[in-house]
Amino acid sequence: MPNKILNAKLLWMQFEDVLAPRLGLTVWDRAVYSYLLRHSLVVGKLRLHFAVLSVARDLGLSNGPVRQAVRRLDEMGALRLLERSKTGHLVEMRLPEQIRALRPDKNGASQAAEGPPPSALEATDFLKTWALRKTIHDRERSACFYCLRRTPAHVQCLDHVVPRARFGRNSYRNLVSCCIECNTRKGDRAIPDFLRTLYRQGRLTPAELDGRLRALKDLAAGKLRPLLPAGRNHRTS
């Protein structure tokens, strides 16, 4: 909407009251989204080219969390990553009212508050709505899938066991809830290797390591099913 004059009051309220809580944004996601919006739609530009390094420097963060936040915002539809190259990222920003997961459907219910019928479990994209993402966090009972640490809502995120870049799906068999630290430190490592690193660092006991490796197999085998929100108009917010 480059030529549209933004209603700052409305935008701010949509951001704080709808977008951030419905999508379950972390403080990093919030900082990055609001920074990118400030330099794009707020000044009449739909697209923005930026270097993670500069954004991180301006926000006083390190590169990893900024890169992760951009990836999460892309997955949630809050921006669209058009290009990633040596010179930086090219993104197209979305206003809260343009984000698909937050738009009301024809019955007036927000898509973020709905769940699909259970028969569709295998085909469900669990990053699609806030309510679906929450089912993965709930399945892990607010503990990091990798290090087992308690993860309050503001420091938990969803992680692809097989990275999306390597064709990992947004299935409940490929998504886990974890702490920001594990999400950042894991990098491109295979999960069993990362779990063994946690064990070597004394963050998992031998029994916990065995349990995590078993859980990883159960996850891939479809044994760790999240509980889908009941009913079409069920609201979890």
Q: How far is the CB of 163 from Zn ion (least distance, A)?
A: 17
Q: How far is the CB of 2 from Zn ion (least distance, A)?
A: 41
Beta strands in the chain (DSSP E): 47-50, 79-85, 88-93, 156-160, 175-179
Q: How far is the CB of 175 from Zn ion (least distance, A)?
A: 15
Pick the closer one to Zn ion by CB: 61 or 147: 147
Query: 90: helix, coil or strand?
Result: strand
Pick the closer one to Zn ion by CB: 7 or 62: 62
| Cβ(13)–Cβ(41) below 8 Å | no
Please count the other Cβ atoms lying within 10 Å of the Cβ belonging to residue 130: 23
Query: Where along the sequence are the contacts to Zn ion (CB under 5 A)?
Result: 144, 146-147, 179, 182
Pick the closer one to Zn ion by CB: 55 or 157: 157
Pick the closer one to Zn ion by CB: 142 or 233: 142
| Cβ(88)–Cβ(8) below 8 Å | no
Strand partners, 81: 91
Q: How far is the CB of 30 from Zn ion (least distance, A)?
A: 21
- The residue among 94, 100, 153 whose CA lies nearest residue 125 is 100
